[in-house]
Structure 1
């Protein structure tokens, strides 16, 4: 996958299961400046719906893209404020 945005930071949550990918994503996005993009790399298939739902219900973040590559799931979240 070629992202159309610059990644500010990558968060590796491989091996973590629900709810840890979302909790760690929230913590990591808090440390990024507005406009920054967090790439989250997970192995929990539930992270696709979990991170999507979290981003949809959270102000200040925007889910830019998600991708599945075998057993690895990548999520791209921008901090908007």
Structure 2
């Protein structure tokens, strides 16, 4: 999973519900350099569609993967170069 990506930063938004995972993801991705990947850890099941929709509608970011775990949803977002 994480071995596939060179993760620059991990953002822990566990316990936060919509819209905070997306708000905090946007803020964290703004601080990364082009090409870097942000790993987002969330417990809100809605984060799967929320982060997917945000990334699809946002220039300069790419959702490279999402992993639905037992208790934690992992999102991998790359900032465009």
Please give the range of the TM-score, normalised by the shorter of the 2 chains. Answer: over 0.9
Counterpart-to-counterpart distance in 1, 2:79 and 2:2: 20
Provide closer, same or farther for how the CA distance between residues 9 and 2 of structure 1 changes in structure 2, counting only shifts above 3 A: closer
- Runs (4+) of structure 1 exceeding 2 A deviation are none
Give the alignment's TM-score, normalised by structure 1.
0.96
**Within 5 Å, which residues of 2 pair with 1:1-81?**
1-81=1-81
Length, aligned pairs only: 81
Q: Which runs of 5 or more residues in structure 2 are unaligned?
A: none
Counterpart-to-counterpart distance in 2, 1:80 and 1:63: 11
Give the alignment's TM-score, normalised by structure 2.
0.96
Q: Which runs of 5 or more residues in structure 1 are unaligned?
A: none
